Amino acid sequence: MSNASSHIALTVEEQEISARRIFTTIAAELALVEEEFERQAASDVGVIARISDYLRASGGKRVRPALLLLSVASAGGNAARHNAIRMAAVMEFLHTATLVHDDIIDNAEMRRGAPSINSRFGNTTAVLVGDWLYMTAFETSLQERSLEILEILTAVTRKMVEGELIQLTLLGCADISEEQYLDVLQRKTAYLFSACCEIGAILAGANASEQRALRDYGLNLGAAFQLIDDLLDFTATDEMLGKPAGADLLEGKVTLPLIYLLQRESAYASAVREVMREGSYEGLSRSSLLSAAEESGALDAARERASSLAERARIALAVLPASKYRDALEALPTYITERDS
């Protein structure tokens, strides 16, 4: 039996318990983030108000706001509470904006088990709403009057756009390298995680060593998070993901499990190109591709890469003082790497 076959993910119940334990320490603050998000998303423009309501109702894991709040607390928590709440909402605005724009680019019809903004309201409206979310995030962040924070937000937004553009140039390519894949992954996902943690450290008045540690923690955690997302697109069901599984390859995206498979079994390259070209698994079924990835050890290798990144994230926290908040940050990598949705 392969390690992939024996890999035991957390059950849904276990995941819920794990998430509750991690987020319990900041439950009150997360509730205030929801209120702040709602307040900042309020608009007298009817269509924006309707879509903002729709976005809030769709929910989400709120991992990024939680990271900022936990980083503030683990680094000493010297920030005024309302400052931390406001900036946590800013990070969720940025994340939501990227999701709206990503769904347009990918022609995605579902997000979190509900119709995506573009499929519900149309691409034109979705583009403008995504822009509005970005501008709301930056307008809100200006209240901090911190050039350092603004520079981080500007840099991470630029990196996310660059990541999307680089990914577009790689669509349909079956021979992308692990380095190219990780570069896109960092730009599109990991740098935002890193920014959440680093801004939390700044708000807490952390020293340079703690700020660097939290920045590195977020970067490695974010990379592990996205790698697991890409693995789940390979292995999970539509119901588990709340959106069509196996969509990455249909959209022309080659992710790490497939990179590892093609390194081991190059004969699959032509069939993989056909799937991307046709946008269909008719020529090469998703189940046979999954079996090949499992039998070749590609899934094991991708999981090990995610685990390695998660461990690097944990190690980075060693410079922080012991606390229940650091404990929560240390628990997040396991929760992220063992989740199944």
What is the Cα–Cα distance from 255 to 235, expressed in whole angstroms? 13
Q: What is the DSSP letter of 322?
A: P
The residues, ordered by sequence, that sit 6+ positions from 51 with a Cβ below 8 Å of its Cβ are 117, 121, 125, 129
User: Is 147 part of any domain?
Assistant: yes
Whether residue 32 lies inside any domain: the answer is yes
- Phi, psi values for residue 114, rounded to 5°: -130, 160
pLDDT along the chain (341 residues), means of 10: 42 61 90 93 89 83 94 85 94 95 92 88 95 96 96 98 97 96 98 98 96 98 97 89 87 96 96 95 93 96 97 97 94 89 76
- 154: in domain: yes
Q: Single out the residue of 4, 10, 9 nearest to residue 301, CA to CA.
A: 4
Q: What pLDDT is recorded for position 92?
A: 95
Residue with tokens 């660059």: 162
What was the pLDDT predicted at 46? 86
**Distance of CA 78 to CAs 74, 81, 100, 141, 290, Å?**
10, 9, 34, 18, 48
Cα→Cα distances 146→12, 140, 150, Å: 41, 12, 6
Which pLDDT score, from 0 to 100, does residue 248 have? 94
pTM of the predicted structure, to 2 decimals: 0.92
Instruction: Kindly state whether residue 215 falls inside one of the protein's structural domains.
Output: yes
Q: What is the pLDDT of residue 11?
A: 60
Please name the amino acid found at residue 161: V
Amino acid sitting at position 267:
A
Report the SS3 class of residue 237. coil
By CB neighbour count within 10 A (0-12 exposed, 13-18 middle, 19+ buried), where does 46 fall?
Answer: exposed
Distance between terminal CA atoms of the chain?
24
Q: Which helix (H) or strand (E) holds 114?
A: strand 114-115
Looking at 174-255, list the stretches that DSSP marks H as alpha helix, in order from N- to C-terminal side: 178-185, 191-203, 208-235, 238-241, 247-250
Instruction: State which amino acid sits at residue 190.
Output: A
- Please report whether residue 39 resides in a domain: yes
Domain CATH code at residue 67: 1.10.600.10
Domain that holds residue 289: 8-338
Q: Is residue 152 part of a domain?
A: yes
Instruction: Please state, in angstroms and rounded to a whole number, the distance separating the CA atoms of residues 137 and 144.
Output: 12
Question: What's the structural domain count of the chain?
Answer: 1
Report the pLDDT value the prediction gives residue 7, as an integer from 0 to 100.
Answer: 43
Task: Answer yes or no: are the C-beta atoms of 60 and 97 closer than 8 Å.
Answer: no
- Give the CA distances from residue 121 to residues 47, 107, 268, in Å, rounded to whole numbers and listed in that order: 9, 13, 39
Query: Tell me, what DSSP letter sits at residue 80?
Result: -
Q: Which of 190-207 are b and which e, b meaning 16 or more Cβ less than 10 Å from the residue's Cβ?
A: bbbbbbbbbbbbbbbebe
How far, CA to CA in Å, does 177 sit from each of 190, 256, 258, 295?
A: 18, 9, 11, 21
In-domain check, residue 2: no
In a domain, 1, yes or no: no
> What is residue 107's DSSP assignment?
T
Between the alpha carbon of residue 110 and those of residues 64, 100, 241, 339, the distances in Å are 21, 11, 10, 20
